[in-house]
Structure 1
Amino acid sequence: MYKFLIVLQLFVLYVGISQSWDIAVTHEKLLEFYTNEVKTKTIAFNTYPRSIAYNEVHEMILYVDKETNNDAICGYSIPFNTCQFFLDRNGRNIHGLAFDPITEFVFFTDVNERSINWITLEPESSKNANLLIKLDDGIPTDIAVDSCNGYVYWITTNLPTPKLERIRYNGSGREVILDLNALYTNSYYKLEPHSLAIDQITRKIYWMEPRNTSMYTIYYADLNGDNKIATTVINLFNYKFTNPTTNTLAVSASALFMSTWCSDCDRTILKLAKTEYTGESYIPMHVTNQIFSLVAKNKIRIHYIRYCEALHCTEPYNAADPYCVHGEKVFMQCLCKCKPGYIGKRCDVSVCSSYCFHGRCSVNDDGVPKCR
């Protein structure tokens, strides 16, 4: 698919096996990969990579190439150590970034335009953004996608009460899932909920809400907003950090990951249980730069596409017995687009069936039966 790779100036400081990583982080001008407590790879850029997302289809880290209100979206190919521009600079201030491995769409929020947009990764695309929704009030910040149901989720800030919202990929069905807390600790800080992450296995959405400048609560809820539960409360002062804070959250098949940083200490990744709080373990990074983004390695497309099909259809998907017998399944719906000459929920009924009493039935190019 990627015929033309634009190689940016980068330097591989340490190369490990491309598959050997669990999380990836960006800080300063670096992209780093970790597995357990071991750093497996470091990539140095001349520019600043910020928000990142994992493109599991092509083993690629998508990232926002940051300039002042003039951001681009690029992709770093893990196996080939090459980079490519997917969205050119055009006065954007991109905050949140998410990738859907089913449609292979990239969604992002533009803070300046108060909009949510999407692009494709096809090399023949125009490298222009497609508008999904523009907000009348509030600013969309962090973003996540539900690949099974075809929804984009985001946090709307700059409101008296921030909101967790969602909308379908086609721009329909916008709804507020939850009203979130908004805290003012002093005249210098306005603390907003942030860092969305969706777990396709448990069908939950996670986010962080600050209690003050050093204490954070991680919540999760059903994808429709029901059953909101506080799973973890982290007090960063317990780790003897100076001016501590946190800024990013990721979820894998087995755990939650949260980055922390402070003004005079090494940065740390906390590894947490996804539901009931049972303590935490650490992935020390031994860096002094602020962590900007964090992503966990997931294989949604490979492991859960059949689960997604079964979720939306009363009859489970079976490759040997396809849901649409003579047709194609409409994405994320239990509907079939039938070939000419076939009807029925699963395109399993011929229009010629019992159509001619004493003659031979044929079908024209438009699927209309005729008797001879």
Structure 2
Amino acid sequence: MHIIGMVFDTSSRTLLWVDALKEIIAKMHVPLNGEPSNPVILHNLIGNSPRGIALDVCNSLIYWVNSNTTNPSIERSNLDGSDRTIVVKENLYEPLAVAIDHAQQKLYWIDDVEGIHFKIERSNLDGSDRELLVHNKHQQPVYLAVDSESMYWSDWVHSAIWTMPKHAKVGDYPTKFKSYYDSRRDADPAGIVTRDNVGKIDCAAILSIMEKRSNLSGPVVSRPLAETFNNLTTSTEESDLTTEISRNCLNDGHPNKTDGTCRCKPG
């Protein structure tokens, strides 16, 4: 095995990873107690050279890059492997890493362009409204992460972590955030993550904004647990409500597992 990226979905206790040697995405259930389940193959990507992987917490999706220079792409699927979709296909050379900006509902990726150049781009989660943020050279970017203000990526040429504001313009130059260069021993920084704060992601608010961007005809309502069941019960504990909400989202709505709300269908 050559594990080159992994994500963990806390709501379903599912660990997913990219194996660059077998060219697969695999997953396993990791319970709070007891032994993990046996790994199973989620996607067989032979010939596609899969690399980075990212988790879209609010929509329960995974994104990954296929870095085969003859057929590069960025794809996504549900956590169970269903609804596999190509998100970005055009104007890619060798995409290496991908990251999700949950607050802005944006997809970021690194493309190691032919020659000495590389790019960092972003788009909506469906690949629309694509933007070029960084077009620079003399780096070998490996992994990518974003927080509320900035982008960060690891680079093996300078043995460093670089950063730039998310509102950077093409032509702006990145700042060296951390150097691992040592004349006695070079270290190659690889995987990188960011943590914006200690709070949880407010998926209900984020998805409401996303629906409005889609120019839907009707309002989107996301009701908290207490409001959802206010007229149904006055004595049930919140833990019981959390169990109930998965069965009682009205009008074909579906539960947001991260914050215990019901998300209504469009319209």
- Fold-level similarity (TM above 0.5): yes
Other-structure match for 2:17: 108
Q: Is 1:94 the equivalent of 2:3?
A: yes
Alignment of 1:211-360 (within 5 A): 211-236=113-138, 244-262=139-157, 267-277=159-169, 278-287=172-181, 288-298=186-196, 302-307=200-205, 310=208, 314-322=220-228, 327-329=244-246, 334-335=253-254
SS at match of 2:202: helix
Judged with a 3 Å threshold, the aligned counterparts in structure 2 of structure 1 residues 331 and 133 are, in CA distance, closer, same or farther, namely farther
Larger helix proportion of the pair: 2
Alignment of 1:128-277 (within 5 A): 128-135=38-45, 137-158=47-68, 160-181=70-91, 183=93, 192-236=94-138, 244-262=139-157, 267-277=159-169
Structure 1 residue 323: Cα displacement? 6.8
Counterpart-to-counterpart distance in 1, 2:248 and 2:152: 31
Structure 1 residue 221: Cα displacement? 0.7
Counterpart-to-counterpart distance in 2, 1:331 and 1:214: 55
Deviation larger for 194-203 or 154-163: 154-163
Counterpart-to-counterpart distance in 1, 2:28 and 2:145: 22
Structure 2: 5+ residue stretches without partners: 212-218, 234-243, 256-262
Larger strand proportion of the pair: 1
Judged with a 3 Å threshold, the aligned counterparts in structure 2 of structure 1 residues 125 and 148 are, in CA distance, closer, same or farther, namely same
Q: Deviations over 1:231-282 (max 9, x none)?
A: 112223xxxxxxx4221211112210122232xx5x3322111133254333
SS at match of 1:118: strand
Q: Deviations over 1:303-334 (max 9, x none)?
A: 32443564689222324313795832369982
SS at match of 1:232: strand
Judged with a 3 Å threshold, the aligned counterparts in structure 2 of structure 1 residues 167 and 285 are, in CA distance, closer, same or farther, namely same
TM-score by length of 1: 0.54
Contact kept in structure 2, 1:180 and 1:193, CA below 8 Å: no
Contact kept in structure 2, 1:145 and 1:153, CA below 8 Å: yes
Contact kept in structure 2, 1:109 and 1:141, CA below 8 Å: yes
Counterpart-to-counterpart distance in 1, 2:69 and 2:247: 37
SS at match of 2:190: strand
TM-score by length of 2: 0.73
Letter in 2 for 1:111: A
When the two structures are aligned, how many residues end up with a matched partner? 229
Rg larger for: 1
Counterpart-to-counterpart distance in 1, 2:67 and 2:37: 28
Aligned-residue sequence identity (percent) comes to 20
Judged with a 3 Å threshold, the aligned counterparts in structure 2 of structure 1 residues 171 and 211 are, in CA distance, closer, same or farther, namely closer
Contact kept in structure 1, 2:16 and 2:25, CA below 8 Å: yes
Alignment of 1:11-90 (within 5 A): none
Letter in 2 for 1:142: G
Counterpart-to-counterpart distance in 2, 1:290 and 1:335: 43
Counterpart-to-counterpart distance in 1, 2:247 and 2:160: 44
Structure 1 residue 209: Cα displacement? 1.2
Deviation larger for 118-127 or 152-161: 118-127
Other-structure match for 1:360: none
Letter in 1 for 2:70: P
Deviation larger for 208-217 or 315-324: 315-324
Contact kept in structure 2, 1:118 and 1:132, CA below 8 Å: yes
Q: Deviations over 1:328-371 (max 9, x none)?
A: 236998237xxxxxxxx99xxxxxxxxxxxxxxxxxxxxxxxxx
Letter in 1 for 2:7: A
